[in-house]
Amino acid sequence: HASPSTLHRNNASLIVDQSGHDKKCEDDKNIAASEMKELGGETEKCNLTLDEILSAHLNKSFDYRVLHHLLIELYNLPKDERLFKFLYIDEQLVDIGDDLVDYEDDVYRNSFNLLRGFVALWGREAEEKLMTRILDLEKLHEGLLRQLPVSMRAHYWSRHKEASHEKGSEKWIFPPLIMDEESYRCRVRNSCHVRQGQVIGEKERNEEVEEVE
């Protein structure tokens, strides 16, 4: 499923936090890992708050921030706080798009996913709640983009135009929400076993035919 995150992904290589100050990346990693583990249980039984779920979501991409600062230091480049703030919002939109695409896989793997967290908190209202957050972020994204130098804006729109050729890239596509995750996993496992059995059966039949010939 394509989404507007495809458009943002091309611009999300450099990231810092909203305040423009460096974060302690190792702390980010530990916080995210802890909260992902907590949500890794059944979302129906999740005791996390919205703030905790958003904290895990925001800290997932700490590696982008590490890479960003390494590149800045290695190439002795000046820091442009306007660009950093823009990319911080851009990163969030990218991650949301990825979580929508990976939602079913993340449920099956019992991995952290922002949509899973919203389903745990709001059930069938999760899509509406997450869409509200997306619209708020897109509004911030638009305002911060206008503050960038002309050359940066031109580069952004050039990459945006390239990515827009992908089908569905201008829409946010939500997967069907999974209310009973354990039942979903059982169905997927059973389906996999059936397919494996069919493949094995087909292989055995082919071997029998070869023996007869």
- 10-residue mean pLDDT profile of the chain (213 residues): values are 50 37 46 50 66 92 80 87 89 93 95 96 96 97 96 89 68 95 93 65 54 52
Whole-number pLDDT of residue 117: 96
Distance (Å, whole) CA 37 – CA 50: 15
Distance (Å, whole) CA 48 – CA 59: 16
- The answer to whether the beta carbons of residues 21 and 114 sit under 8 Å apart is no
18: DSSP letter? T
Whole-number pLDDT of residue 69: 77
Helix then strand then coil, % of the chain, to nearest 5: 70, 0, 30
Element (H, E) at 199: helix 181-212
Largest distance between two CA atoms of the chain: 75
Rounded to two decimals, the pTM is: 0.72
132: DSSP letter? H
Element (H, E) at 201: helix 181-212
- The answer to whether the beta carbons of residues 5 and 98 sit under 8 Å apart is yes
